[in-house]
Amino acid sequence: MDYISTRGSAPTLDFAGVTLAGLASDGGLYLPANWPHFSQDEIAAMRGMPYAQLAATVMHPFVGDSLSLERLRELCDEAYGRFAHAAVTPLVQLDERHWLLELFHGPTLAFKDVALQLLGLLFEEFLARERGTLTIVGATSGDTGSAAIDAVAGRDKVEIFMLHPKGRVSDVQRRQMTTVRAPNVHNIAIDGSFDDAQAMVKRLFADEAMTAKHRLGAVNSINWARLMAQVVYYFAAALQLGAPERSVAFSVPTGNFGDVFAGHVAARMGLPIARLAVATNVNDILHRALTSGDYSQSEVTATAAPSMDIQVSSNFERLLFDIGGRDGSALAGQMRGFETSRAMLLSNAQREGAASLFTSARADQSAMAQAMRWAWDRAGEVVDPHTAIGLHAAHSLDLPADVPIVTLATAHPAKFRDAVERATGTRPTLPLRVGDLFAREEAYTELSGGYDAVRDFILTHASPRG
């Protein structure tokens, strides 16, 4: 499979190449040159497969010649064998039409494990074929950092430098990063917000002092392999609820538009998806873009669902490219306009293309708390704030009664136990698998000197590319 950039002028890469690359050299994001498609019979034949087998079957067309189906299956067995539930992403019924797809049974309690456990193995696999190391740099508001560190700690030829905004991640999230003691893991706390950390990472990718010495890799959802791994659970859920004969709707708590874009990919591959609801909190740029075509950035408001406190959703660019005629040079112009004015209008083709599959809804604090109480009253389920925002959007869907609605449960409630306790009065307990998280010693470096301090720290501590 060939991968092309959304901005039309970066070199074409194969799957191994996009896995190790970050942003495309023209500033765009990589996408497959075409969408693989499964027939109804091929989808029906996936019923009842164990998750790892389903994953290898759904993903192999994207992997092409970079890995054999057998090797991909071995990596999936290893990645998904680390989950605490045999079904990996089990479905839980809430009432006659609403379901939760629990994506938090991995080691760090958020859905990002589903993709990152596999990505860590893919890095190791592809790096073993070449000389040199990959230096991963990332910024996190909490969940990406812990999932990425767990996935690469102790692995060969990979080093990770993870920036988090000091004092702005939950205690569980911070400890999941800082108590991992492996020589290839470096945690950095910066003064500032998540957006400041993210801006530093973008600068590192463009800094020649850095890129001349180190091959930089990405673990956020600009990395195509992450989105690819997330396509699988849309198949898993829909198959259980009657696909391919019956179509299913999904509601997706959305931040960087990665998870919900994976749903769009599943639909392109032939999975019958009736609707995708983009659920946002008060940081609602995507809701505004999908309802009125106005994609304009405003200030980020901190909420109880920090992984959705995002104003600029990187992966939205992938959707605009795919539904707007795949015209890289037109999109490059549109994105440059956005980067200067922090605002853009969607074209008619983009608006109509989005409207055929997507809807959206926005939840403020009280709607979020109400959805949390609804899940508790209706089904005795405690859900986390991100999932509650997804449920709020699920309730806004206007669909025939025979279409099941699946809300993606993106984090374990105990990961955000303070917020859950505030909304419901119940304090969820941490699952046993997180072990003695609060007894372990933490290690991280505080850097208050801005970008230069971060760059110098990485230059001093990272192994050169070999």
Ligand X SMILES: *Cc1c(COP(=O)(O)O)cnc(C)c1O
Contacting positions for ligand X (CB under 6 A)? 110, 112, 143, 221, 253-259, 307-308, 386, 410-411
> Is residue 276 a contact partner of residue 358, using CB atoms and an 8 Å limit?
yes
CB nearer to ligand X: give 80 or 416.
Answer: 416
Distance CA 221, CA 113 (A): 12
Sheet holding 134-139, edge to edge: 216-217, 134-139, 158-165, 185-190, 445-447
Active site residue 112: yes
Q: Which of 386, 404, 100 is nearest to 254 (CA)?
A: 386
Side chain identity, residue 203 = R
Rounded least distance, CB 260 to ligand X, Å: 6
Min CB(253)–ligand X separation in Å: 4
Catalytic residue among 112, 166, 202, 213: 112
321 with 4: CB under 8 angstroms?
Answer: no
State the minimum distance, in angstroms, from the CB of residue 82 to ligand X.
18
Q: Which is nearer to ligand X, 57 or 221 (CB)?
A: 221
Q: How far is the CB of 401 from ligand X (least distance, A)?
A: 28
CA distance 414 to 433: 12
Q: Which is nearer to ligand X, 256 or 359 (CB)?
A: 256
Task: Give the count of beta carbons closer than 10 Å to the beta carbon of residue 398.
Answer: 6
Least Cβ distance, residue 410 to ligand X (angstroms): 3
- Measured over the CA atoms of residue 183, residue 431, residue 220 and residue 3, the dihedral's sign is positive
**Ranges of H-type helices in 94-220:** 112-127, 143-152, 171-178, 194-206, 208-211
Token pair of 455 as six digits: 């760059």
Residue 39: count other Cβ atoms within 10 Å of its Cβ.
10
- Give residues with Cβ within 8 angstroms of 237, minimum separation 6: 89, 91, 99, 101, 248, 250, 406
Kindly tell me which of 24 and 411 has the beta carbon lying closer to ligand X: 411
Active site residues: 112
